Amino acid sequence: MYTFQFERAADAKAAVARLKADPDAKFLGGGQSLLAAMKLRLASPSVLVDVVRIPGMAEIRVENNEIVVGAAARHADVEANAEVRQRIPALAALAGGIGDRQVRAMGTLGGALANDDPAACYPAGVLGLGATVVTDRRTIAADDFFKGLYETALEPDELITAVRFPIPDQAAYVKFRNPASRFALVGVMVARTGNAVRVAVTGAGDSVFRCQPLEQALAGDFSAQAARGVKIDASSLNTDLHASAQYRAHLIPVLAARAVEEAVKG
Ligand SMILES: Cc1cc2nc3c(=O)[nH]c(=O)nc-3n(C[C@H](O)[C@H](O)[C@H](O)COP(=O)(O)OP(=O)(O)OC[C@H]3O[C@@H](n4cnc5c(N)ncnc54)[C@H](O)[C@@H]3O)c2cc1C
């Protein structure tokens, strides 16, 4: 019979040391993805090392022109945080649109990023806002973090401790949600800072990606009309039981246009 141990880490160093000592041990965030994988026998860690009660890991603070969100911050905490709502309302709205109340009460930013589900919302927020992932040993730019299907730049024993989100001039995240799971069939984050525009798309490929054609069009003309005029190549997009690649390609500029409208409204 499969059994596992549960341990609560006192600090980041102890959590990492536990995984270094036992390669079958895993960090536990809110458990919203990992416990489901364990129930399906897709994962069978020897030890679950709970990292959500590490002092300071759930803290959200403003530093210079960034909001620093602790990796153990729950989605509901990010949604409700006054600084996030005021300075990056798109991020608060993204967190508030994840799953359902229970998922938002338990799921964490760090867990969502480490999991890197191809239809998850936070990867689009992190990549679209050009954030920096902070771990126990280094910082990783969002552009270098997401590597493929459920694959990130993290080492197996590397702990995400926080994410630094630069505050954009205007931003919005819009997703076409799967009505059952609420994951993104396609989700688009648009962020403008000065003349630079970043557009990140989730739900459409193996992993979140930046959409250059939309970024170029919107850098020249930050309008919904400019977004709607962009044609997206469907050849590298996903087809599954929910939608064809062509349908996803159609959705990307439509959602980007809605995101621009929301971003401009503020
Ligand atoms: C019904 C349902 C609907 C959902 N809908 C959405 C949605 O609409 N949009 C969306 O984006 N997501 C959605 N999710 C996923 C949700 O956001 C999860 O909370 C998230 O994917 C995992 O976060 P967690 O904290 O629960 O991590 P866990 O399940 O605890 O862990 C996931 C993985 O991350 C690792 N990990 C955890 N914390 C860290 C850390 N600090 N550093 C490094 N590795 C770590 C774990 O070892 C594990 O491999 C949904 C989930 C469910 C069950």
Q: Quick: pLDDT tens for 152-207.
A: 999 999 999 999 999 999 999 999 999 888 899 999 999 999 999 999 999 999 99
Pocket test for ligand 1, best of 115, 135, 201 (most atoms within 8 A of CB): 115
Alpha carbons 255 and 249: distance in angstroms, whole number? 10
Strand partners, 188: 174, 201
pLDDT at residue number 180: 87
For 25-55, write each residue's pLDDT tens digit.
Answer: 999 999 999 999 999 999 999 999 999 999 9
* Cα distance between residue 226 and residue 7, in whole Å: 52
Question: Which contiguous run of DSSP H or E holds residue 200?
Answer: strand 196-202
Q: Which domains does the chain have, with CATH numbers?
A: 5-48+57-166 (3.30.465.10), 170-265 (3.30.390.50)
pLDDT of residue 1 exceeding 90, the answer is no
Which H/E stretch holds residue 87? helix 82-87
Atom 21 in ligand 1: residue holding the nearest Cα: 112
Ligand 1 centroid to Cα of residue 14, in Å, is: 22
Give the nearest ligand 1 atom to 97 CA.
Answer: 8
Summarize pLDDT for 112-130 with one digit per residue, the tens. 999 999 999 999 999 999 9
Task: Report the sign of the C-alpha dihedral through residues 159, 111, 140, 171, in that order.
Answer: negative
Which atom of ligand 1 lies at the shortest distance from residue 99's CA? 5
Transcribe 129-196 into DSSP letters: TT-EEEESS-EEEHHHHEEETTEES--TTPPEEEEEEEPPSEEEEEEEE-TTT--EEEEEEEEEETTE
Ligand 1 geometric centre to CA of 66 (Å): 23
Distance 117 CA to ligand 1 centre (A): 8
Confidence of residue 266 (pLDDT cuts 50, 70, 90): confident
- pLDDT score for 52: 97
Mean pLDDT calculated for residue range 131-155: 98
d(CA 43, CA 266): 42
Q: What does the pLDDT look like over 65-94, one tens digit per residue?
A: 999 999 999 999 999 999 999 999 999 999
What is the average pLDDT across 210-222?
97
